[in-house]
Chain A
């Protein structure tokens, strides 16, 4: 989809109107960048950005119909085309003249490239304006690729830097960062910069360089606790406390993870495999995979015991005064 569009852009086949929809901002940003780059080959480009949440669509049309002064083509980016969306809960402050837009769409100006951006999951296909838009504009939906494709994409990006990435490192990267392509891209950039002369991205490098979210740290702490690695658990805990994390929140996070684990183990016993479990519980499949892998480390009884212990810590945090970070710490020190 996008690769074809990009190839067309590269060849200089530019449409007058584009409609880019979807939540994956990486594709949208990248498309805009490529169009801009192409236009800039012929000298400086006049470009205008209009936020349709604040300005009416008339402005876009007027702007597009105006012949550019200095360059042969003009770039107009119209953000937040919310009139294409199904449910419009935000009270429309701006009145968009959609009939005029429809008329204009049939004969768009050929001295400008107009890009409408609809960063929403779905467009309302029943709306007349959506249909017309799709008919006359080059329409593309930016969707987050599936995990496997994402891994391929990561490898492709890394190759773009002239580096290699180990499969294990790719998996680790996606696990740590999640499915957000923009974020993945920035982490890949960062790691490649770090590498300098070296050529291979290893899993340990990913572990070292990628920023971790609170959840990952909390889960790591829990895993250490389950492995009876008190030192590891405590040092992560203190790092979190130093980041001014609220102990109550940590307790809740730990409890929710333990709950998930016990759910997963129950479903495993019923014969579900991890893909089905992820679907059933609506959780990131990577998380389930990890839990399934670690299943041997802890018995279900111990899980329930830990859950009970956490509930006691929670009660103490909410009722007993004194140093708040103590209670969870003592829990972590207590052998399971």
Chain B
């Protein structure tokens, strides 16, 4: 008999022999025992995880002469002929090489016929994702109404390429990667059977580079076995799996860490002398540094390491670099790789890259103007602090201004009245000083801000002829129910006030934007300045006055009453302005209010 590769000889022939996939085995076996198999299965998973093997074992078990059973007997004629692939009712179909409609139709036409000698016709369609669209449709027709004596098993490595309509007709099983121990066990079994002594460590190396694929592991084992003479040694498996290079990369990285440029270049020379390709080498270097990164960031994922291992020496090496350094190494190398492709002197580029890298590393310990981001933060810190303090100062300034504007309130009544006639005389326009004062009294920062933010948009919504009038106007103060609109010129102000339509439209737009209905109070700039100045002045004198006698307080009370009466029809006064003012002067704790 001709030589058969390990992975063919040691293909499992029963569920028991199969490594891993315990959940799939259990489900299938329960289904087989209970006779509750469905007509279509989809097996998906990475290569070498047992999809085709499971399909074949399933085909045997369901057709075994001892059925219903959880395991094929592997002794009856049916089992045997399925094992050697000669059973007429178990049809293996490689979709990768027969992907057209005609080929799949050929098979499907025969679906109707009852099985020749077994109980079920089992169609195993491997690499099913390779089928063409029309072939899938042909298959779908059959899957929709399969005859009772047929079982389809679709196997694929790329389930996302299969149409959803097909997937929804199948019972789907996801095969998972095998664990390293599963693979180790299997390899040991094989070696014991061929009676070859082995190094435990050697098997570990193979298992690791197989990355969860049993077939990969077994074919690598095959190679190593034919390579080694009497005993399977670590060296042999290292050589075959190509893991030999890790030492030289280790030396290179170590020298980089030490900043020993001469040695770095020596190692490079040595590698080049061995006939390594510079482009390939830079790729490997990227991989190596990526491995170091991986050791740092996810130490438990040793399976994914390609050129390094989790040996003690690699761990210490990895810790000699910061993450940022490693990232910048990879950056430099991948840029170099680009440049190399366009050049004949790839080696020069690689040398330059290594020199660059050794410098990156050198700068690190000095803790000065460096590339590492954390240190940048340090440099910026003093400036940052300075900025922050400045901002804080500005903020408090703004707040003071705000408060100033707000607390002008108790004053206005007294001084406002004499002013009104003057304003009238000046402009021929009746400035509603009293109402402005009311607004000022309860003005809040929020209101003015929300109006300002809605300003441009509301203006846009007005027809051009109307918005032109408000072009030079500006909202200057606002309370919850009204706001003061300042005009640059008296004439504009007057026109706006007379144009009731404009005012009502505009306040409606504003209301839509801000969610609050504001009354508009117009005032020419000149008058506004005066009113405002008065407020501030009176506010200050009031402060002084308040401190003095009860006479003042009585006038203050009168004032408050007037204010109250004016405000009543518009909104309830939230707090007695007098109390507010007093609180401001003496602090909340010292005041008791007696009515």
Residues of A participating in the B interface, judged by any CB pair closer than 8 Å = 25, 49, 180, 182-183, 186, 189-190, 193-196, 208-209, 211-214, 230-231, 234-235, 238-239, 242-245, 320-323, 326, 329-330, 333-335
Contacts and interface: CB of A to CB of B under 8 A. Distances in A.
Contacts of B283: 322-323
Given A242-B46, A333-B294, A333-B298, A211 B172 contact: yes
> Which 7 residue pairs across A and B have the least CB separation, nearest first?
A231-B298, A194-B27, A211-B172, A230-B298, A230-B297, A242-B46, A193-B31
Contacts of B46: 239, 242-243
Interface stretch (B163-171, B458-466, B557-565): B163-171
Given A186-B171, A190-B172, 17 more contacts: A49-B145, A182-B168, A182-B169, A183-B168, A189-B36, A194-B27, A196-B26, A208-B23, A209-B23, A235-B304, A239-B46, A242-B177, A242-B211, A243-B160, A321-B341, A322-B283, A335-B297
Contact of A190 (B27, B34, B168): B27
Interface string B149-184: 000000001111000000111111110010000000
Contacts of B293: 330, 333
B338 A321 contact: yes
A101 B24 CA distance: 50
Contacts of B173: 190, 211
A235 B301 contact: yes
A209 B27 CA distance: 9
Contacts of A322: 283, 286, 334, 337
A242 B293 CA distance: 21
Given A194-B27, A242-B177, A320-B338, A211 B44 contact: yes
Which of B36, B167, B283, B334 is the most central at the interface, judged by chain A CB atoms within 10 Å of its CB?
B334
A109 B343 CA distance: 83
Contacts of A231: 297-301
A183 B327 CA distance: 44
A234 B301 contact: yes
B38 A189 contact: yes
Contacts of A25: 168
Nearest to A209: B23
Which of A183, A190, A245 is the most central at the interface, judged by chain B CB atoms within 10 Å of its CB?
A190
B308 interface: no
A61 to B, nearest CB: 22
B290 interface: yes
B330 interface: yes
Contacts of B168: 25, 180, 182-183, 186
B30 interface: yes
Interface string B25-40: 0110011001010100
11 contacts: A189-B171, A193-B34, A211-B44, A242-B211, A243-B46, A243-B159, A243-B160, A320-B334, A322-B337, A329-B290, A333-B290
B396 to A, nearest CB: 27
Contacts of A235: 301, 303-304
A214 B160 contact: yes
Nearest to A194: B27
A180 B23 CA distance: 24
B230 to A, nearest CB: 36
B30 A193 contact: yes
B178 to A, nearest CB: 12
Nearest to A214: B160
Interface string B11-51: 00000000000010011001100101010000010100000
Contact of A186 (B170, B299, B303, B330): B170
A194 B25 CA distance: 9
Nearest to B158: A244
Interface string B87-118: 00000000000000000000000000000000
B135 to A, nearest CB: 18
Which of A189, A193, A323 is the most central at the interface, judged by chain B CB atoms within 10 Å of its CB?
A193
A193 B25 CA distance: 11
Contacts of A330: 290, 293, 327, 330
Contacts of B23: 194, 208-209
A212 B173 CA distance: 10
Contact of A234 (B38, B174, B287, B294): B294
Which of A213, A243, A244 is the most central at the interface, judged by chain B CB atoms within 10 Å of its CB?
A243
B364 to A, nearest CB: 18
A242 B176 CA distance: 11
A193 B297 contact: no
B578 to A, nearest CB: 39
Contact of B171 (A190, A195, A214): A190
A214 B174 CA distance: 12
Which of A195, A212, A242, A321 is the most central at the interface, judged by chain B CB atoms within 10 Å of its CB?
A242
A247 B329 CA distance: 22
Contacts of A213: 160
A268 B173 CA distance: 38
A239 B298 CA distance: 16
Contacts of B158: 243-244
Nearest to A211: B172
A212 B167 CA distance: 12
A186 B300 contact: no
B26 A194 contact: yes
Contacts of A209: 23, 27
A11 to B, nearest CB: 26
Nearest to B337: A322
B583 to A, nearest CB: 34
A182 B338 CA distance: 50
A214 B334 CA distance: 29
Nearest to A235: B301
Which of A195, A208, A326, A330 is the most central at the interface, judged by chain B CB atoms within 10 Å of its CB?
A330
Nearest to A213: B160
A104 B169 CA distance: 34
Contacts of B160: 213-214, 243, 245
Contacts of A193: 27, 30-31, 34, 36
Contacts of A211: 44, 159, 172-174
Interface in B322-341: 323, 327, 330, 334, 337-338, 341
A231 B299 CA distance: 8
A326 B327 CA distance: 12
B143 to A, nearest CB: 12
Contacts of B304: 234-235, 238
B284 to A, nearest CB: 10
